[in-house]
Amino acid sequence: MEQIQESKVIGVPTPRIDGPLKVSGSAMYASDHHFPGLLYAWPVCATVANGTISRMDTSVAEKMTGVVAVYTRETIGKLYRVPPSDGFSMVVDERRPPLADDTIRYYGQYVAVVVAQTMEQAHAAADKVKVSYRRDQPVLSGQLLTLPLTTAKPEEKSKRGDTAAALKAAPAKVDAVYKIPVETHNPIELHASVAVYDGQKYTLYETSQAVVNHRDVMAAMLGVPPEQVQVITKFLGSGFGGKLWPWPHAVLAAACSRNLRRPVKLVVSRPMMFQNVGHRPAIEQRIQLAASADGKLTAVQQDYVNHTSILDDYDEGCGEITPFLYSTPNLLVTGGLVRRNVGNPTAMRGPGAVPGLFALESAMDELALELKIDPVQLRLMNEPSIDESLNIPFSSRHLKECLTVGAQKFGWSHRTLEIGSMKRDGLTIGWGVAACSWIAARIETAATVELRQDGSARVACGTQDIGTGTYTVMAQVVSHVTGIPLTKIDVVLGDSSLPPGPISGGSWVTASMTPAVLEAARNACTAMLVAAVKADGSPFKNRKQEELEFVDGTVRVKGHAQNAVPMGRILQAAQINSVSGTGKSEGTFGDPKPKLSFHSYGAQFAEVTWQPEIARLRMGRVVTVIDAGRMLNPRAARNQIEGAVMMGVGMALFEETMYDERSGAPVNNNLADYVVAVNADTPEIDVTFLDYPDYELNPLGARGVGEIGLAGIAAAITNAVHHATGIRVRDLPIRIENLLQSPASGVSSV
Ligand code: MOS
């Protein structure tokens, strides 16, 4: 593939071009949209997790002040199921349309929706809808690995060699079970829909990480052609995967607008965020490792089970990274599902890899201890030369350098092996390491670039900026090709009517979007040269196109900078408003016969401090070294990794959604009781990018960054905790109760 090495804008730390809009409060998020005649919808949520609606009385609610309508299964109108599909079209987490039947399968399931003049009126009336249930005991807990599996037997995800035999024969072994509780996405921006139906067309302002898919799903569920639906998400207050696919509230809002011919706003409340819009499922993983006495892996087995909802099959895919991370002749990964009375789980930042690496990288630490080999060394010793699961080369892999650079920056050589042996300022310190990886891919993208009479450019692509910096990177790519400064480039995205762009998922937007935007910008420059030689009034009229070049927003005879004419002047003279070019790039994701293994890599080093006298555990610092291709905007990229590390701190130390066993209600359904890492928990974070371009993926060598930063953090922390305390926490989050048994603890547990 073409390789672009030199650039004045690519690779330069660049402040977000949308920053001023955000800090001035003028960026329009979904729920900011307001229209004349706007009504507010508030759903009625089931108060049981398993049962049947036996009676519903809406009469009180209907008479309340401001109430316009109360919709139930009988009155909401026709809603359809989306057809099954592969890939990234028609993806929806909950396939059953809202209010489709009277069976309750999870706590909070929508059973009715109230529409009123104000949100408060709608909320108050929703509370007065009386629903009676025949209730059954919900199924919520139990050891996942020992429960009967929903899938007849665990599915084989990857296999090579004879794992059973190798496990039996090995001199060194680890066999342990690792657990992750339900984690709930808590972006600051609540999910929201503002639906505007004008009798023909739906304009839907949504919190979406994938506007094109959202349009197609909504069209299918509403039973109209996609041209009659437009989905707009100009800004997103983060999503973390929770906003990748449409949820039932969006369908309810659109249906209410359809029924009333009025704009309808529905904002999902924070408590509803814990039950109606996905979560990372509860997961149990058994990891078995076998190695020779000198530390060479001979077998790896990973058996994972995650919970899913009653009706939909969400597979967390915990075995995604295991098959290629280390060299081993024998490997087996299996996965299974267990049904629970919960809403459907969904992708949460780094789905599969993040929980999978917690287990695998914890087990690697346990193996290192067993073998008395340094954990960094153990990983270096088991570096594969090819992707052994597919027998293909890596596109670009520098995991060893991540580990050695990280070790050096962290000061790893000063680590002493014995538990609790390292002290500083009266604190016990623990050091842990984990390797990480994340898939890199491109998905099909189209884009257009326009060059305009006023000297500005416009770039359009039906992708989204979910807070990660897509606006800025798109402008950088256009600026790189055209030489037009960032301040004169308008980026238009977040609208399903634009050329279809990638989902903001998998950290794939940058890799997917750049080849299409490069091509579109180049085609726009060519269109400008065509206009220069052909259009009446152009100062270059009748010259040969090959004699001209487009440089820094001007057209000139090749090499003759002194005669350069600004593009705006040519268009003015020719009375043309703008010229444009289109670009397209193919997807690589899901290629059944890939020639290369595309992944990013990293090494996470964590320090914790431990005060055994008062059982106080604190984060010390994190050194993270990331090999994720070329960083197009190192400033935004660093911000992504720092944020991801903080999510890793939350995963390791705090996050856990708890359910009432009787009602099935998430009980810590607010930001006071569901603890996320905050500024006070922030360790010193040292981010290093190796910055090796991956030219096999796209001409700029970009892979993508975001999710990789979370992968491995929880294991690095639990490994550090073990080093400080001697306690191996295999069941997240780390609770202080776990550590009271520490041999290095002076606190006796009562
Ligand atoms: Mo990411 S969990 O693919 O939004």
Output the pLDDT for position 748: 43
What is the atom index within ligand 1 of the atom nearest the CA of 466? 4
d(CA 708, CA 715): 14
Task: Please indicate whether residue 241, judged by its CB atom, sits closer than 6 Å to ligand 1.
Answer: yes
| 3 state DSSP class of 499 | coil
Residue 323 backbone dihedrals phi, psi, to 5 degrees = -65, -20
Helices (H), 383-508: 399-410, 470-482
Which is the catalytic residue, given 94, 316, 361, 707?
707
Task: Please indicate whether residue 140, judged by its CB atom, sits closer than 6 Å to ligand 1.
Answer: no
Q: Measured in angstroms, how far is the CA atom of residue 440 from the centroid of ligand 1?
A: 13
Q: Measured in angstroms, how far is the CA atom of residue 330 from the centroid of ligand 1?
A: 31
User: What are the strands, taking DSSP E only, across 595-702?
Assistant: 599-611, 616-627, 684-689
Place of tokens 């990964």: 333
Task: Please indicate whether residue 624, judged by its CB atom, sits closer than 6 Å to ligand 1.
Answer: no
What is the atom index within ligand 1 of the atom nearest the CA of 349? 2
Output the pLDDT for position 147: 77
Residue numbers of the chain with a pLDDT score lower than 70: 152, 743-750
Question: pLDDT per residue over 185-230, tens digit each?
Answer: 999 999 999 999 999 999 999 999 999 999 999 999 999 999 999 9
Query: Which of 238, 707, 708 should be mutated for ligand 1, with most atoms under 8 A from CB?
Result: 707
Output the pLDDT for position 744: 55
| 3 state DSSP class of 304 | strand
Which residue from 198, 190, 191 is spatially nearest to 214, judged by alpha carbons?
191
Which structure tokens are listed for 192? 């929201």
707 catalytic residue (yes or no): yes
List beta partners, residue 114: 42, 70
Task: Please indicate whether residue 602, judged by its CB atom, sits closer than 6 Å to ligand 1.
Answer: no
Task: Please indicate whether residue 355, judged by its CB atom, sits closer than 6 Å to ligand 1.
Answer: no
Bond preceding residue 733 cis, omega within 30 of 0:
yes
Q: Measured in angstroms, how far is the CA atom of residue 471 from the centroid of ligand 1?
A: 18
Q: Measured in angstroms, how far is the CA atom of residue 706 from the centroid of ligand 1?
A: 9
Question: pLDDT per residue over 721-734, tens digit each?
Answer: 999 999 999 999 99
What is the atom index within ligand 1 of the atom nearest the CA of 243? 4
Task: Please indicate whether residue 553, judged by its CB atom, sits closer than 6 Å to ligand 1.
Answer: no
Task: Please indicate whether residue 349, judged by its CB atom, sits closer than 6 Å to ligand 1.
Answer: yes
What is the atom index within ligand 1 of the atom nearest the CA of 504? 4
Give one DSSP letter per residue of 138-201, joined into a string.
----S-GGGSPPSSSSPEEEEEES-HHHHHHH-SEEEEEEEEE--B----SSPPEEEEEE-SS-
Contact between residue 22 and residue 15 where contact means Cβ atoms under 8 Å apart: no
Task: Please indicate whether residue 505, judged by its CB atom, sits closer than 6 Å to ligand 1.
Answer: yes
Output the pLDDT for position 750: 36
Task: Please indicate whether residue 209, judged by its CB atom, sits closer than 6 Å to ligand 1.
Answer: yes
Contact between residue 734 and residue 718 where contact means Cβ atoms under 8 Å apart: yes
Output the pLDDT for position 745: 55
Task: Please indicate whether residue 706, judged by its CB atom, sits closer than 6 Å to ligand 1.
Answer: no
Q: Measured in angstroms, how far is the CA atom of residue 163 from the centroid of ligand 1?
A: 32
Q: What is the pTM of this model?
A: 0.97
Task: Please indicate whether residue 710, judged by its CB atom, sits closer than 6 Å to ligand 1.
Answer: no
Output the pLDDT for position 741: 78
Contact between residue 228 and residue 215 where contact means Cβ atoms under 8 Å apart: no
Which structure tokens are listed for 214? 């959202």
d(CA 552, CA 481): 8
d(CA 567, CA 556): 10
Task: Please indicate whether residue 348, judged by its CB atom, sits closer than 6 Å to ligand 1.
Answer: yes
Query: Which of 244, 354, 466, 510 should be mutated for ligand 1, with most atoms under 8 A from CB?
Result: 244
Query: Which of 349, 464, 468, 470 should be mutated for ligand 1, with most atoms under 8 A from CB?
Result: 349
What letter represents residue 381's amino acid? M
Q: Measured in angstroms, how far is the CA atom of residue 246 from the centroid of ligand 1?
A: 14
Helices (H), 631-712: 634-653
Contact between residue 629 and residue 646 where contact means Cβ atoms under 8 Å apart: no
What is the atom index within ligand 1 of the atom nearest the CA of 209? 4
Which structure tokens are listed for 449? 């670039």
What is the atom index within ligand 1 of the atom nearest the CA of 239? 4
d(CA 427, CA 424): 5
Contact between residue 45 and residue 98 where contact means Cβ atoms under 8 Å apart: no
The CA-CA-CA angle for residues 611, 614, 620, to 5°, reads 30
What is the atom index within ligand 1 of the atom nearest the CA of 707? 1
Q: Measured in angstroms, how far is the CA atom of residue 242 from the centroid of ligand 1?
A: 8
d(CA 141, CA 307): 10
Contact between residue 331 and residue 688 where contact means Cβ atoms under 8 Å apart: no
Q: Measured in angstroms, how far is the CA atom of residue 213 from the centroid of ligand 1?
A: 14
- Which residue has the least CA distance to atom 4 on ligand 1? 241
